[in-house]
């Protein structure tokens, strides 16, 4: 039995990687990080042409109808290139919520537009993974009150908002009473923000009332951030190995020093097993629903810890150069750092895993 990727999945990752190498080099991310533009529209259009926004959307709605494992492979590539584009919320979470909890009218209105890249939808659900500063949103009479922090894919045309009762609501970005505030985080390759609601009209997804779909969104979001971390960490490891093979000290390449060999070997030995864990966690979201949430917790927590170790160690291999802006390692370092906290820290993910197992 072959437990590796299919030929189609390998072609998918290769094509997206080649595309980002051409249209989203590090200098493109640098310009985006300077906050001179709300979205990197040129990179987004290139991904639209590749069909990335419609990966998990059904073919009848203009998408490709692929699974979460395929989306995780793309997320890994995006992390490897620190691509400055929306993905987790608009291309994965929002389509899943609409497909499984939206009305036929909501599905017909939004899914084709998401698949074509015409619209971007942010997702506000972080309060269900650990509320901060009394944040939270309540729904009453078709209107929302409260505030939501760390909204994913913040520069969006609409938002999918989770209220305290677990229901999901669609809110237009220009809705009356909605106040949007970008948040400055350590990772400037992506946009997150805060939403404040004052009697904001919302369109509730009718199939989301029991909170089941919200739980699925949290699990899928955790898998996506774990995949992004895997890609970013793999890039930092590759950069460290390449640097050690060219940098000389005392007339020798530092790759010949035993201490440097051990650092690189430790990174590789910890990172490589994470790939199988991530693939299984992503596969479980579609094929093994009873195990999906548990393995999402394991993947998120473990990749967060290993990613942090690789980020720190790869920077150490570069010595003083690793802390400068010249190489740009800090973009991957900070992306891993934000992924660690989004949708629950490793500690929160392990706590959720314990509860799922009745501990």
For residue 2, the model assigns a pLDDT of: 63
For residue 342, the model assigns a pLDDT of: 96
For residue 324, the model assigns a pLDDT of: 81
- CA dist 34 → 84, 189, 191, 310, 337 (Å): 12, 9, 12, 26, 19
Q: Which CATH architecture best describes the domain 121-208?
A: Beta Barrel (2.40)
What letter does residue 152 receive in the DSSP assignment? B
Tokens 């946009």 identify what position?
Answer: 191
Domain range annotation of the chain: 7-115, 121-208, 212-356
Please answer whether residues 332 and 235 qualify as being in contact, where contact means their C-beta atoms are separated by less than 8 angstroms. Answer: yes
Out of 3.40.50.1370, 3.40.50.300, 1.10.540.10, 3.30.70.2740, which CATH number does the structure's domain 7-115 have?
Answer: 1.10.540.10
Long-range pairs for 54-60 at CB < 8 Å and ≥24 separation? 54/91, 54/114, 54/115, 54/116, 54/117, 55/91, 55/92, 56/91, 56/92, 56/95, 56/96, 57/95, 57/99, 57/111, 57/114, 57/115, 58/99, 58/111
CA atoms within 13 Å, Cβ hemisphere of 266:
17
Fold of 212-356: Butyryl-CoA Dehydrogenase, subunit A; domain 3 (1.20.140)
For residue 263, the model assigns a pLDDT of: 93
Interval 148-205: pLDDT, tens: 999 999 999 999 999 999 999 999 999 999 999 999 999 999 999 999 999 999 999 9
- CA dist 29 → 40, 42, 233 (Å): 9, 12, 17
- Report how far residue 278's alpha carbon sits from residue 264's, in angstroms, rounded to the nearest whole number: 21
For 19, residues 6+ apart whose C-beta sits below 8 A from its C-beta are 46, 47, 50
For residue 1, the model assigns a pLDDT of: 46
Task: Give me the sign of the Cα torsion angle 113, 115, 121, 123.
Answer: positive
Give 133's strand partners: none
Q: CA angle 332-334-335, nearest 5°?
A: 60
Q: Tell me the pTM.
A: 0.95
| Strand pairing report for 192-201 and 178-183 | antiparallel
User: Radius of gyration over alpha carbons of the chain, in Å?
Assistant: 20
Please answer whether residues 99 and 91 qualify as being in contact, where contact means their C-beta atoms are separated by less than 8 angstroms. Answer: no
Interval 232-253: pLDDT, tens: 999 999 999 999 888 878 888 8
Q: Would residue 295 be called left, alpha or beta, if left means φ above 0 and alpha means ψ between -120 and 50 degrees?
A: alpha
For residue 359, the model assigns a pLDDT of: 87
- Report how far residue 32's alpha carbon sits from residue 189's, in angstroms, rounded to the nearest whole number: 7
Residues of the chain where predicted confidence (pLDDT) is lower than 50:
1
């Amino acid at each position: 039995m072959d437990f590796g990727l299919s030929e189609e999945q390998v072609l998918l990752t290769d094509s997206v990687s080649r595309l980002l190498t051409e249209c989203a080099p590090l200098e493109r991310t640098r310009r985006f990080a300077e906050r001179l533009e709300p979205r990197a529209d040129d990179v987004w259009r290139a991904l639209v042409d590749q069909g990335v926004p419609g990966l998990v959307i059904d073919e009848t709605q203009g998408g490709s109808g692929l699974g979460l494992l395929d989306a995780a492979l793309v997320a890994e590539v995006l992390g490897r290139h620190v691509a400055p584009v929306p993905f987790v919320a608009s291309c994965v979470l929002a389509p899943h919520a609409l497909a499984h909890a939206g009305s036929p009218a909501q599905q017909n209105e939004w899914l084709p537009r998401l698949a074509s890249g015409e619209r971007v939808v942010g997702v506000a659900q972080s309060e269900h993974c650990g509320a901060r500063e009394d944040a939270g949103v309540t729904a009453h009479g078709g209107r929302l009150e409260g505030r939501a922090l760390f909204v994913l894919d913040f520069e969006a045309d609409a938002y999918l908002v989770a209220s305290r009762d677990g229901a999901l609501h669609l809110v237009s970005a220009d809705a009356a009473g909605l106040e949007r505030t970008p948040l400055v985080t350590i990772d400037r390759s992506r946009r997150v923000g805060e939403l404040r609601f004052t009697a904001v009209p919302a369109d509730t997804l009718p199939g989301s009332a029991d909170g089941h779909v919200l739980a699925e969104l949290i699990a899928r979001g955790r898998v996506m951030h774990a995949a992004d971390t895997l890609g970013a960490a793999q890039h930092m490891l590759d950069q460290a190995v390449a640097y050690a093979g060219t940098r000389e000290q005392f007339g020798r390449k530092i790759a010949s020093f035993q201490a440097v060999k051990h650092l690189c070997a430790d990174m590789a030995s910890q990172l490589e097993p994470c790939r199988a864990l991530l693939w299984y966690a992503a596969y479980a979201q579609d094929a093994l629903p009873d195990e999906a949430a548990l393995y999402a917790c394991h993947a998120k927590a473990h990749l967060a810890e290993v990613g942090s170790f690789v980020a720190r160690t790869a920077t150490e291999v570069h010595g003083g150069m690793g802390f400068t802006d010249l190489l740009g390692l800090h973009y991957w370092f900070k992306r891993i750092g934000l992924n660690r906290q989004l949708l629950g820290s490793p500690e929160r993910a392990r706590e959720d895993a314990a509860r799922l197992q009745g501990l």
